[in-house]
């Protein structure tokens, strides 16, 4: 009997060492600890042990029962604890989102220009914000005392003997492009411009324009109209219905026009000024060393904030620059 108990002890020890789940622990209990289990079985046969052996074998048996029960309790406790620990981490709970920034609405609008005109074959170029009088005015066919210069309220840089100024429009980029690239050329130039203007809900002293320029043989007014209409159709995803080209004047285009779009929003319909446009003036082509007998071109300059106001249904331009996250988040 001593050997039998010894064998059972070894079996129990080995089985206990392998238990990792509560199912395995339960199987162990059913095999050894219940009324018809192995321990009860040996205990039942204890009465047949010769009286002289009873003290020793009884002690051996008690120790085994105690050992099995204690280890069983310990394992049960530790399995419960680890189960509780694993359920306290609920992987199905929604996480906490870290705050995420987005592109500013003006950047988004410029991205739209780049995307749509990119699909028309226009490249993107850049120009300096500090310009000189020549690129901002002279080369664009503003005569020295031309009254058109008064149209621009210019910030001149103090103490500069080179007639430096903050560009009043992105059109000087036309000059730089035509003087460095040979036609055919197709570019848009997004950028910041400056005007010495009183700030109100539709005017800022600092704002964005996107200049467009296309110079090639046989570029016509029809190309200009078709290009601008295709652009707004794409930009407003077909929500615009009517366009109009209003005769206008710029020294650097002839003929010149303002491009308006009839926009239907939540507040009904309204004509919105997108910007100026026209056929590049022959004098401007000549100033850049391009033969106006051989080449023609069109140009346009759109106000970015205006378009963004239109797109988001905003009537105060200053909202874009107050950097109120509640506003920016809505426009993202």
218: left (phi > 0), else alpha (psi -120 to 50), else beta?
left
Cβ 195 to ligand PHE, closest distance in Å? 9
Q: How many CB atoms lie within 10 A of CB 8?
A: 18
Which residues, at least 6 apart from 320, have a Cβ–Cβ distance to it below 8 Å? 104, 105, 106, 305, 308, 314
| Token digits of residue 167 | 């560009």
Cβ 234 to ligand PHE, closest distance in Å? 20
Check residue 276 for interaction with ligand PHE (CB under 6 A). Answer: yes
Cβ 203 to ligand PHE, closest distance in Å? 13
Q: How many residues does the chain have?
A: 332
Task: Tell me the window of 29-37, 74-82, 154-162, 271-279 that interacts with ligand PHE (CB under 6 A).
Answer: 271-279
Q: How many residues touch ligand PHE (CB under 6 A)?
A: 11
Q: What is the DSSP letter of 322?
A: S
- CA 257, CA 90: separation in Å to the nearest integer? 64
- Judge contact between 240 and 263, C-beta under 8 A: yes
Check residue 191 for interaction with ligand PHE (CB under 6 A). Answer: no
Strands 123-124 and 185-194: parallel
CB-nearer residue toward ligand PHE: 171 or 227: 171
CB-nearer residue toward ligand PHE: 299 or 310: 299
Residue 143 half-sphere exposure toward CB, CA atoms < 13 A? 3
- CA 147, CA 172: separation in Å to the nearest integer? 18
* E-state strands within 146-292: 164-166, 185-194, 206-216, 240-250, 253-265, 268-280
- CA 230, CA 250: separation in Å to the nearest integer? 23
Cβ 99 to ligand PHE, closest distance in Å? 37
Check residue 171 for interaction with ligand PHE (CB under 6 A). Answer: yes
214 three-class SS: strand
Cβ 105 to ligand PHE, closest distance in Å? 21
CB-nearer residue toward ligand PHE: 127 or 301: 301
Structure-token match 């046989």, residue found: 218
Apex 109 CA angle, 107 and 115, nearest 5: 100
As a whole number of Å, the CA-based R_g of the chain is 42
Check residue 169 for interaction with ligand PHE (CB under 6 A). Answer: yes
CB-nearer residue toward ligand PHE: 64 or 257: 257
Task: Tell me the window of 17-25, 75-83, 276-284, 287-295 that interacts with ligand PHE (CB under 6 A).
Answer: 276-284
From residue 232 to residue 261, the character string flagging contacts with ligand PHE as x (rule: CB under 6 A) and all else as - is ------------------x--x--------
From residue 286 to residue 305, the character string flagging contacts with ligand PHE as x (rule: CB under 6 A) and all else as - is -------------xxx----
From residue 55 to residue 84, the character string flagging contacts with ligand PHE as x (rule: CB under 6 A) and all else as - is ------------------------------
CB-nearer residue toward ligand PHE: 42 or 189: 189
- Judge contact between 206 and 192, C-beta under 8 A: yes
Out of 278, 297, 306, 317, point to the residue binding ligand PHE (CB under 6 A).
278
CB-nearer residue toward ligand PHE: 71 or 169: 169
Cβ 209 to ligand PHE, closest distance in Å? 6
> Which residues sit at the interface with ligand PHE, rule CB under 6 A?
169, 171, 250, 253, 275-278, 299-301
């Amino acid at each position: 009997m001593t050997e039998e108990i010894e064998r059972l002890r070894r079996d129990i020890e080995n089985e206990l060492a392998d238990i990792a789940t509560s199912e395995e622990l339960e199987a162990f209990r059913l095999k050894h600890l219940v009324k018809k289990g192995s321990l009860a079985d040996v205990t039942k046969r204890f009465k047949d042990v010769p009286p002289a052996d009873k003290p020793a074998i009884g002690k051996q048996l008690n120790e085994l029962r105690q050992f099995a029960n204690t280890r069983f309790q310990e394992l049960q406790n530790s399995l419960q604890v680890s189960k509780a620990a694993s359920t306290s981490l609920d992987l199905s709970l929604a996480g906490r989102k870290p705050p995420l920034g987005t592109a500013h609405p003006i950047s988004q609008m410029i991205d739209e220009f780049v995307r749509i005109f990119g699909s028309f074959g226009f490249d993107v170029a850049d120009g300096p914000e500090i310009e000189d009088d020549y690129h901002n005015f002279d080369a664009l066919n503003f005569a020295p005392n031309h009254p058109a210069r008064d149209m621009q309220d210019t910030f001149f840089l103090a103490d500069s003997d080179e007639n430096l100024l903050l560009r009043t429009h992105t059109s000087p980029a036309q000059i730089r492009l035509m003087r460095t690239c040979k036609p055919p050329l197709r570019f848009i130039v997004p950028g910041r411009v400056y005007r010495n203007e009183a700030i109100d809900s539709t005017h800022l002293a600092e704002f964005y324009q996107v200049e467009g320029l296309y110079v090639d043989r046989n570029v016509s007014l029809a190309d200009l109209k078709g290009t601008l209409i295709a652009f707004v159709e794409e930009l407003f995803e077909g929500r615009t219905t009517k366009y109009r080209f209003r005769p206008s004047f710029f020294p650097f285009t002839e003929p010149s026009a303002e491009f308006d779009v009839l926009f239907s929003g939540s507040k009904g319909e309204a004509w919105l000024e997108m910007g100026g446009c026209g056929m590049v003036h022959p004098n401007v082509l000549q100033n850049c060393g391009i033969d106006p007998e051989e080449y023609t071109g069109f140009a346009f300059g759109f106000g970015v904030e205006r378009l963004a106001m239109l797109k988001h249904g905003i009537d105060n331009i200053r909202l874009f620059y107050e950097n109120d996250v509640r506003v920016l988040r809505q426009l993202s």
